[in-house]
Structures are given as structure tokens and as C-alpha cells.
Amino acid sequence: MLSHYVLRASLRSRSNGLLSQLPPSIEHCVDQIWPNSHRNFHASSLVEASSSSTRWKKRQSTDSYAREAKVQGLKSRAAFKLLEIDAKYRIFKKGQTVVDLGYAPGSWSQVAVERTKPGGRIVGIDIIPAQPPKGVSTIQGNFLSSEVREVVKRFLSDPDRGRPKIQETFDISQPVVKPTPSYIDLERHLDDNHKEDQIKLEGDPQGTEKVMVAEKEKSRKAEDRVMGRMVDVVLSDMSAPWDQTTGFWKRSLSDPYIRMMNTSGISFKDHAGSMDLCAAALQFGFDTLKTGGHFVVKFYQGSEDKQLEVQLKRLFGSVHREKPDSSRSESKEAYFVALRRKHNVNRESVLGTNQIT
């Protein structure tokens, strides 16, 4: 069997017009194993991939955001886009549950972990195998699959699953077991609270209104729990990945870039693909976001993004288009930042009848 290295040498010779330098016996074997048309096509693909990789490396070396990301230990320069969005809209709070769709290589998840400390829960989903950042729970799978979405929802249904445990500290000078109040003490405490509420209501004309608002808030939270809406923020920086054709020998967990897509160069294809991913992310957000939750999604600009904006405005209190400074000027990417999910919005009015199943 002809070795892999001889095949590669033959391929390079063919692509450079140096076929005559190979011995006839080797060339005959190559023709039998690998037809000429297939060999030439693969050679051109390798040349294109090599030149594209060289351009990407050159651009990264002169990119200030890429250099700064490396200095700060961030997975990629994309972290600065989310940092800019959060600085403007304050989407993160301590203790939140955040879902990062298309998390690889993990820079957005890194930002979410830092901004939701302590007690925050970050869950990342991606089809590409990648090493999760510290403090992030991840699920590998195709998010367009209904089975994968159900797995994510089951994971989120337990409010403590994936949430870092806060270590409690004990003061040895204090008794470990606290005295349990008696039944009479509890009844007296309830009476005292009731009297205080009555005094507040009588002395404050708006007290009744405040109590009603608090009761409504409780009922909304209860409804969210019943409906399985337990997420505070949904992030989507998804792009359709390239099919993996080479680099199977690489440690892909630490180098997911081999399959991450910038753009195909065909604007309509990139736009249409991003709209499908946005639709899947919006449907997931509708099912899992709490009332008052936020939604940040990347899209490639085109004719259909206005329709997506209309859908978002039906579900959220305010919707903003953003093109962060850290996003490359030549890129068609942009972001919708949708804030404060509304209560009791009809599903079909947002998602229509063509929902992803």
C-alpha cells in the first residue's frame, strides 16, 4: 500500500506542474488509487484552505482586540462584543441563569460567568466539540434538533443543576444548632407582621396598590415555573459550521476554529442561514425565558432581518440593533438586543405557524 506521505508528495507535484519528477511506477500507483479529477479537486481545496488560513492568521496578528483577548485570557475577541452590549444595556445580574447558544470557543460564556458571580448558572450548547470555560456546563449537539432542545430544557428544569455550590463558613464560637422557635412564637410573629401591614396600609394611600403589584409579581413567577421558563438571559452567537473534512488528527477540543465559519462569501446564503438559526433561538427563548428576561442574537444583515425585528418587538419591551465597535467593519454581522420579555404573549403572534420541530 502506498504511504500517505508518497500520496501527498505526488499531489504537491501535480498541483505545481512537476509531475515529471515522480518515478513512473509511483505515478502509476497514484492514478490507480486516486483518480486524476479527484486529486486535482482536493489539491485546489488544500491550496484555498491554506491561503485562507494564512490571511486569517495575518489579520489576527494585527487585530488589537485579538491581542487584548489573548492578554486577558479570553477564548476569542468576540468577548468584547458582549462586553460592549452589557456595558450599554446591563443585561447581566448576580445569580442569573444564562444559556449561550453556539458557545464555542467560549468567550461569551466567560463574560457571562464573570458578570453573574456569585451563584450564576451558565449553560453552553454547540455542535462543535470544544473545551468549556471554567464554571460553564456544556451540551454538545445540533441545536436545530428538537431532541437536543428537549435535553437542554430537562437540564434547566432543576434550578440547582449546573450552578456552582457556594461554600458556607461556620463560626466555631457560635452554636451549630440554632434553637427552633415554638408554635406559639410563630403565631405571635405572624400576628405582628399582620399588624405592621395594616398600619402601613392605613398610613400609606398607595399601600394597597403596592400590595397588588407584589401579588401580581408572585403570580407571574409561579406561572413561569409551571411553564418551564427558568432562564434569565439567552445569548446566541451561532453560525453554521463548516463540515469537517480535514484535521481529524487534531485536538479539536482545544482548537474548535477548524470548523467555525466566518462567512461563505455568498451574502444571501449567509443571511438565510443566520435567519434559520435566529428562528430556532427565538423559539427556544419563547419557551424558556422568564418574564422580564433578555435575548441577544447575532444575525447577518439582509432582507429578512426586518421581519425578525417585528417578531422580537411582539415579545419584548424594547428591541435594539447593535453593531459593536469590536465587530469588524467589513463584516455583515449585527446583533439584536431584546430586553424585558412581556407577559402573556400569544405564541403564534411571535413565531407564526412555521415553527421548527
Tens-place pLDDT, residues 272-301: 888 989 999 999 999 999 999 999 999 988
Q: How confident is the model at residue 255 (pLDDT cuts 50, 70, 90)?
A: low
Cell of 242: 463548516
Whole-number Å distance between alpha carbons of 357 and 101: 17
CA 338 to mean position of chain CA atoms:
15
pLDDT in tens, 115-159: 999 999 999 999 888 888 999 999 998 888 889 999 999 999 998
Q: What ranges in the chain are assigned the alpha helix state H?
A: 4-15, 24-33, 36-61, 64-71, 79-89, 107-115, 146-157, 183-203, 207-226, 267-288, 305-315, 347-351
- How many angstroms separate the CA atoms of 352 and 274, rounded? 18
The confidence band for 76, taking pLDDT boundaries of 50, 70 and 90, is confident
In angstroms, rounded to a whole number, what is the distance separating the alpha carbons of residues 161 and 296?
23
pLDDT of residue 45: 46
Q: Which of 81, 88, 298, 342 is catalytic?
A: 298
Q: What is the pLDDT of residue 129?
A: 83
What was the pLDDT predicted at 94? 95
Whole-number Å distance between alpha carbons of 318 and 309: 10
Do the Cβ atoms of 98 and 235 come closer than 8 Å? yes
Grid cell 448558572 is found at 121
CB atoms within 10 A of CB 69: 21
**Single-letter amino acid, residue 36:** N
Stretch (H or E) spanning 136: strand 136-140
Highest mean pLDDT of the ranges 72-76, 332-336, 351-355: 332-336
Task: Please enumerate, as own/partner, the contacts of 7-10 that have beta carbons within 8 Å and a separation of 24 or more.
Answer: 7/33, 7/34, 10/39
What DSSP string runs through 72-115?
Answer: TT-S-TTHHHHHHHHHHH----TT-EEEEET-TT-HHHHHHHHH
Average pLDDT value for the chain: 76
Q: Is 94 a catalytic residue?
A: no
Q: How confident is the model at residue 357 (pLDDT cuts 50, 70, 90)?
A: low
